[in-house]
């Protein structure tokens, strides 16, 4: 899990989903419901290694590792891990294209491109930007807004993406940004979007579900394994 979470940081940086040294990618420890892995604050995502992670409990105490816990890491991620059963892995980013959508009066990810259809009825929207999350109540509000979805578009702020595993959460994060990018590029032409008809959406969503595994393996895991091989082929110490 440490290796996967380190790879998740490296890959998010490689795809331009990071912002400075801000934002956090966290995962609950296997078999535990009260502690999670978090990179020490101050590290760039391109340098995070498997051995760097802190084990942090729900009171923000560091049980393993060395380095500071940044406030919003605790106040956003702890409530989402605690309150969202689907939130074993919680990724919060300010990735540019999805964040651009959160700035719009209508922030909807439109069903206008195939990659967006994977998010049909799986995106929650929180229009209430409240400043920095500096107490648990703001994270709890975000967790409630997320509900049982895997994506929360955080108004005027960024995104929260959760998954039952690190590969599944990263898959959502990656394709959300790709779909948002396509939408922003399409809108930038100034021409109206052509939305996909509801019956085609429903048929395609069913096709996605039927193809979720290939050769007995989860598509998200196959993708994540391929991306880790990309990391392995470049000088990289993420697994150390
Ligand atoms: Zn943020």
DSSP code string of 75-142? IIIHHHHHH-TT-SEEEEE--HHHHHHHTSSS----S-SHHHHTTTT-EEEE----SS--SHHHHHHH
Q: What is the pLDDT of residue 134?
A: 85
- For residues 136 and 125, the answer to whether their CB atoms sit within 8 Å is no
For ligand 1, the distance from its centroid to the CA atom of residue 23, given in whole angstroms, is 6
pLDDT tens-place string over residues 178-226: 999 999 999 999 999 999 999 999 999 999 999 999 999 999 999 999 9
For ligand 1, the distance from its centroid to the CA atom of residue 232, given in whole angstroms, is 30
Q: What is the pLDDT of residue 191?
A: 98
CA 97 vs. chain centroid, Å, equals 13
Residue 105's CB is within 10 A of a number of other CB atoms, namely 5
For ligand 1, the distance from its centroid to the CA atom of residue 192, given in whole angstroms, is 30
For ligand 1, the distance from its centroid to the CA atom of residue 157, given in whole angstroms, is 6
For ligand 1, the distance from its centroid to the CA atom of residue 52, given in whole angstroms, is 22
Q: What is the pLDDT of residue 133?
A: 81
Handedness of CA 142, 37, 86, 107 (dihedral sign): positive
For ligand 1, the distance from its centroid to the CA atom of residue 197, given in whole angstroms, is 34
Q: What is the pLDDT of residue 115?
A: 96
Q: What is the pLDDT of residue 187?
A: 97
pLDDT band of 130, cuts 50, 70, 90: confident
- For residues 90 and 81, the answer to whether their CB atoms sit within 8 Å is yes
Q: What is the pLDDT of residue 236?
A: 81
For ligand 1, the distance from its centroid to the CA atom of residue 164, given in whole angstroms, is 21
- Report whether pLDDT(155) > 90: yes
Residue 176: CA count within 13 A, CB half-sphere: 34
pLDDT band of 131, cuts 50, 70, 90: confident
For ligand 1, the distance from its centroid to the CA atom of residue 186, given in whole angstroms, is 26
pLDDT band of 238, cuts 50, 70, 90: confident
For ligand 1, the distance from its centroid to the CA atom of residue 31, given in whole angstroms, is 28
* Least trusted range by pLDDT, from 88-92, 116-120, 222-226, 233-237: 233-237
For ligand 1, the distance from its centroid to the CA atom of residue 149, given in whole angstroms, is 19
For ligand 1, the distance from its centroid to the CA atom of residue 24, given in whole angstroms, is 8
For ligand 1, the distance from its centroid to the CA atom of residue 33, given in whole angstroms, is 24
pLDDT tens-place string over residues 30-84: 999 999 999 999 999 999 999 999 999 999 999 999 999 999 999 999 999 999 9
Q: What is the pLDDT of residue 197?
A: 98
For ligand 1, the distance from its centroid to the CA atom of residue 50, given in whole angstroms, is 23
């Amino acid at each position: 899990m440490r290796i996967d979470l380190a790879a998740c940081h490296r890959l998010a940086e490689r795809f331009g989903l990071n912002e400075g040294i801000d934002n956090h990618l966290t995962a609950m420890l296997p078999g535990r419901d009260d502690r999670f892995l978090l990179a020490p604050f101050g590290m760039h995502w391109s340098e995070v290694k498997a051995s760097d992670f802190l084990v942090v409990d729900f009171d923000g105490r560091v049980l393993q590792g060395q380095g500071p816990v940044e406030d919003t890491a605790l106040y956003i991620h702890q409530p989402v891990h605690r309150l969202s059963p689907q939130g074993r892995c919680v990724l919060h980013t300010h990735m540019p294209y999805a964040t651009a959508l959160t700035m719009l009066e209508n922030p909807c990810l439109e069903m206008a491109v195939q990659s967006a259809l994977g998010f049909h009825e799986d995106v929650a929207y929180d229009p209430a930007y409240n400043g920095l999350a500096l107490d648990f109540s703001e994270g709890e509000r975000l967790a409630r807004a997320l509900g049982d979805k895997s994506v929360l578009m955080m108004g005027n702020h960024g995104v929260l993406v959760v998954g039952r595993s690190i590969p599944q959460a990263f898959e959502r994060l990656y394709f959300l940004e790709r779909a948002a990018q396509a939408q922003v590029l399409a809108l930038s032409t100034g021409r109206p979007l052509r939305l996909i008809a509801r019956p085609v959406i429903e048929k395609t969503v069913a096709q996605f579900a039927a193809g979720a595994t290939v050769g007995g393996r989860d598509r998200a895991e196959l993708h994540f394994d391929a991306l880790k091989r990309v990391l392995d082929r470049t000088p990289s110490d993420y697994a150390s």
